[in-house]
Structure 1
Amino acid sequence: MSILSALSRWFSGPASAAFAECDVRCASAAGLHRMAYTEWGERDNPRVLVCVHGLTRNCRDFDRLAGALARDYRVVCPDVVGRGRSGWLKDPAGYGFPQYVADMMVLLARLDVEEVHWVGTSMGGLIGMIIASQPDSPVSRLVLNDVGPVITSESLRRIGDYVGKAPRFDSFADAEQYIRLVSAPFGALSDAQWRQLTESSVRRGDDGKWGMVYDPAIGEPFRQAYLLHQDVDLWPVYDAIRCPTLAVRGAQSDLLTADTHAAMGQRGPRAQLAEIADVGHAPMFLDDAQIAVVKGFLLEA
């Protein structure tokens, strides 16, 4: 990439920070794909924070959090394959945690660092849990945002009802109305915040209609899980984590129950616990109070 090309990829971001749009080439059984990511802060900062989004979301969810932490960290926010600016898999059967973990390890190799701190929302938290549970894990500090070792069947059904089934929209306003509906558990966001989330969630096609920025096929492997009509139990994974951990819960969450959240403070890494009032699945770290919860935990290291 030329210097001019590289400079052209820098943009203004929240909190007077800036980010670069980057990508790395990854492999699946069906071939190669590119995983996009945003990078904030100084590239020579040895302290690296990786922020990974939820099932149907993308890296731009972390703009506010990354902007707030860019002076302390080199912050890297990937678009998991099939989402955002990343490529789509040729074989939808590959949309699952083995592929996601493999792609993240390629990303960490690109960053050329020995250890990272990790913030993961929902699916991104599960990816972080899996990596952090491994011997010789590069994850040295972990934030699990509204996810834990038990995924309720109720939440699987709710998410399965809409993932990959979004219509195409005639207008941006129609798209925003849909985002507000399916993302209502995020809590009482401002009009500006809803607009920001919508802008990063949809793109306009050649036909003039607006569509979601994820491959609809990501929903197929997911729906196979909720067809079992039972909770997903990942306690052995959680119990193997050894790094300091913060478990954040939306007080109205149907994915991370109060009982599971409390138990996360008693076993495995004995996570510090935090709960965000008036939010379901999941807190979005768009306001100073929510950001302070994460920032305080990460920087106490």
Structure 2
Amino acid sequence: MPNHEGFSDFFYASTDGLKLHARIYGEANATGWPVVCLPGLTRNARDFHELALYLSGSAKQPRKVIAFDYRGRGKSAYDPDVKNYNVGVEAGDVLAGLAALGVNEGAFIGTSRGGLIIHVLGMMRPATLKAIVFNDIGPVIEANGLAHIQSYLERERTPKTRAQATAAQRSVHGKDFPALAGADWDRMVWALYRETDGGLVPDFDPKLVDTVASLDLTQPLPDLWPQFEALAAIPLLTIRGANSKLLSTDTLQRMRERHSKMEAITVAGQGHAPFLETSSLPDDIAAFLDRAEQQNSPE
């Protein structure tokens, strides 16, 4: 089981009064841009645990890392109004959390939905974004990728043991992630589920499934090209799983064309979304952040 040391819990109130949560790593790291980690749709701050430990402790330039639980996920309160589970509200929650922490700017890492929230933050508060890492997300979401997410969320069951949970996740995602080892799947299960008297349950509000199930994938999905183009001056690294169904190679190429200085990494043997603590990704991310900050420094 991953080490639970190395962070503190931070609770704050949203503008509409919900009690929300974030993890803070490396609180004593006062130099360098802080790193803000934003998880996927049904995920939570635990997804970033290993990467956060590295960035806050082992990297050449240790940084403060803030990993958020959106409303309805992890240790954040569930929202009684399902309509508030949207990227606009969640972007506002992130800004409220940063304000409560006294953080005005930072480098942002967004996995899947987290990357969509970064697109919105670029419109709401562009000065907050000093560097960006997109993890398997861009301004265009492929319908077949969303259909895959709809399918496995609808089939989500309550396993009795962690072994059953691991087997279930490998059954659903194994073909897209042949590069993962047993310990990787164990970390995924540890991050995704919480224990109850009846077994393990996914650590998010079940109503979130409704927000995905209600999408009509027979209609064209809106894109975020205007929002993406507004990020053109911000250092950007995009990570794509080679087997991703959500971020296509065509979209990645178009992103390069519209953001001429964008860096990109394709992760072999992984799909949506790559595990950021695997392979050379922690070093790659840390090096990108160091380069971006150095280039931003006045001569």
For the superposition of Structure 1 and Structure 2, which TM-score range results when normalised by the shorter chain? 0.7 to 0.9
Q: Does 1:286 pair with 2:277?
A: yes
Deviation at 1:270, TM superposition (A): 4.3
**Aligned to 1:37, what secondary structure does the other structure show?**
strand
Asked whether the equivalents of residues 37 and 59 of structure 1 are also in contact (C-alpha less than 8 Å), the reply is yes
Alignment of 1:8-23 (within 5 A): 13=3, 18-23=6-11
In the TM superposition, what is the alpha-carbon distance from 1:239 to its structure 2 partner?
Answer: 0.7
Tell me, yes or no, if structure 1 residue 221 matches structure 2 residue 211. yes
Amino acid at match of 1:276: V
1:200 is displaced (CA, Å) by: 2.2
The match for 1:152 is 142
Q: Deviations over 1:39-70 (max 9, x none)?
A: 11134615210011111221111111111110
**Structure 2 residue corresponding to 1:41, chosen from 16, 22, 26:** 26
Aligned residue number for residue 237 of structure 1: 227
- What secondary structure does 1:45 align onto? coil
2:189 equivalent to 1:204: no
Is the partner of 1:233 in helix, strand or coil? coil
Partner-residue secondary structure (3-state), 1:24: strand
CA contact (8 A) 1:83 1:213 kept: yes
Aligned-pair distance for 1:89? Answer: 0.6
Shift of 1:228: 4.3
Cα deviation, residue 230, structure 1:
2.6
Q: CA 1:37/1:95 → structure 2, altered by over 3 Å: closer, same or farther?
A: same
CA RMSD of aligned residues (A): 2.0
Q: CA deviation at 1:27?
A: 3.6
The change in CA–CA distance for 1:272 and 1:44 in structure 2 (over 3 A counts) is: closer
State the secondary structure of the residue aligned to 1:249: strand
Report deviation, 1:288: 4.3
> What secondary structure sits across from 2:152 in the alignment?
coil
Cα separation, 2, equivalents of 1:209 and 1:272? 42
Change (3 A) 1:260 1:136: closer
In 1, distance between residues paired with 2:97 and 2:260? 25
Q: TM-score, normalized by length of structure 2? A: 0.88
Gaps of 5+ in 2: 294-299
> C-alpha deviations, 1:221-258, integer Å up to 9, x for none?
22333444433311111011131111111111111100
Kindly state the Cα deviation for residue 165 of structure 1 after the two structures are TM-superposed. 4.6
Residue 100 of structure 2: aligned partner:
110
Residue 153 of structure 2 aligns to a residue whose secondary structure is: coil
2:192 partner letter: S
**Alpha-carbon distance change, 168 to 136 in structure 1, aligned in 2, over 3 angstroms:** closer
1:277 is displaced (CA, Å) by 1.3
Match of 2:184 among 193, 196, 202: 193
Instruction: Report the equivalent of 1:246.
Output: 237
The match for 2:297 is none
User: 1:272-283, aligned counterparts within 5 Å?
Assistant: 272-283=263-274
The residue type equivalent to 1:175 in the other structure is A
Q: What corresponds to 2:91 in structure 1? A: 101
1:54 paired residue number:
40
Residues 9, 22 of structure 2: 8 Å contact kept: yes
Change (3 A) 1:276 1:133: farther
Alpha-carbon distance, 1:186 to partner? 4.4
CA distance in 2, matches of 1:149, 1:113: 26
Q: How far apart in 1 are the matches of 2:209 and 2:280? A: 33
**Structure 1 unaligned residues grouped into runs of 5+:** 1-11
Between 163-172 and 147-156, the greater mean CA deviation after superposition:
163-172
Instruction: Report the alpha carbon displacement of residue 263 of structure 1 after superposing the two structures with TM.
Output: 1.2
Structure 1 residues 153 and 112 mapped into 2: Cα distance closer, same or farther (>3 Å)? same
* Contact map agreement 1:13 1:67 (CA 8 A) in 2: no
Q: State the 1:287 CA deviation.
A: 2.1
Q: Which moved more, 1:41-50 or 1:116-125?
A: 41-50
Q: Which residue of 2 aligns with 1:259?
A: 250
Post-superposition Cα deviations, 1:169-215, rounded to whole Å, max 9, x if no partner, equal 22222122122233433443221221122122212223x32211111
Query: Residue 171 of structure 1: which of 152, 156, 161 is its match?
Result: 161
SS of aligned partner of 2:288:
helix
- Check 1:89–1:247 CA distance in 2 against 1; reply closer, same or farther (3 A cut): same
Q: Is the 8 A contact 1:186 1:284 kept in 2?
A: no
